[in-house]
Amino acid sequence: MIESRRNWSEVVVNIQREMEWLMGDVVSRKPPMVRFSPKTWQPDIDVYETDNEVVVLVELAGAREDEIEVMVHNDTLIVRGERKDIKQGIKRTYSQMEILWGPFERDITLPASVNVDKIKAFYDRGFLEIALPKSGVDKPRHIDIKASKRD
């Protein structure tokens, strides 16, 4: 007869060991040498504020200026376009492939209200810099506190 009872703590410890082994194996693996580009990819961005504006810096190396669209809708900045493969039509075999080609889109929620009529965009050496002047709506305003009750 086979003994079917086991000590539960032993079972839990064994499961924990197996999970640690599995997670260690997953973490120690190298990333794939070839990534297949999704239909739409998202470029890397930096977003920061100064006293007067919100600045968005978008990394778009290889994209042409005339293939980039920038627009603002409500409190969201949308940057989209396409980075075309510069070696299209050439037969090649990759040993490593990390650069994403094709259409891209990035929606950035703006941290402050901006004046859409005064937005400026500059493209230089693969970086798109968008300067969005803040509107006066979100500027801090000092509120006086009165000692008496509200009437």
* Residue-wise pLDDT tens digits, 26-41: 666 655 555 555 578 8
Tokens encoding 113: 């209200």
Q: pLDDT at position 74, please?
A: 87
Q: pLDDT at position 115, please?
A: 92
Band of pLDDT at residue 63, cut at 50, 70 and 90:
very high
The residue type found at 138 is: D
Which range, 19-23, 25-29, 142-146, has the best average confidence (pLDDT)?
Answer: 19-23
Element (H, E) at 119: none
Left, alpha or beta for 21 (phi > 0: left; psi -120 to 50: alpha)?
Answer: alpha
User: CATH fold of 45-137, please?
Assistant: Immunoglobulin-like (2.60.40)
Higher pLDDT, 49 or 95: 49
pLDDT of residue 54 exceeding 60, the answer is yes
What is the rounded CA–CA span in Å between residue 23 and residue 19? 6
DSSP structure class, residue 97: B
> Please, are residues 80 and 104 in contact by the beta-carbon 8 Å criterion?
yes
Ranges assigned E (strand) in the chain: 45-49, 53-59, 68-73, 76-83, 102-109, 120-124, 127-133
pLDDT of residue 52 exceeding 80, the answer is yes
In DSSP terms, which residues pair with 78 in a beta bridge?
71, 107
pLDDT of residue 85 exceeding 90, the answer is no
Higher pLDDT, 128 or 19: 128
Q: pLDDT at position 31, please?
A: 59
Q: Give ∠ CA 128-132-133 in degrees, rounded to 5.
A: 150
Domain residue spans of the chain: 45-137
Phi (first) and psi of residue 8, to 5 degrees: -60, -35
**pLDDT tens sequence across 64-84:** 999 999 999 989 999 999 998
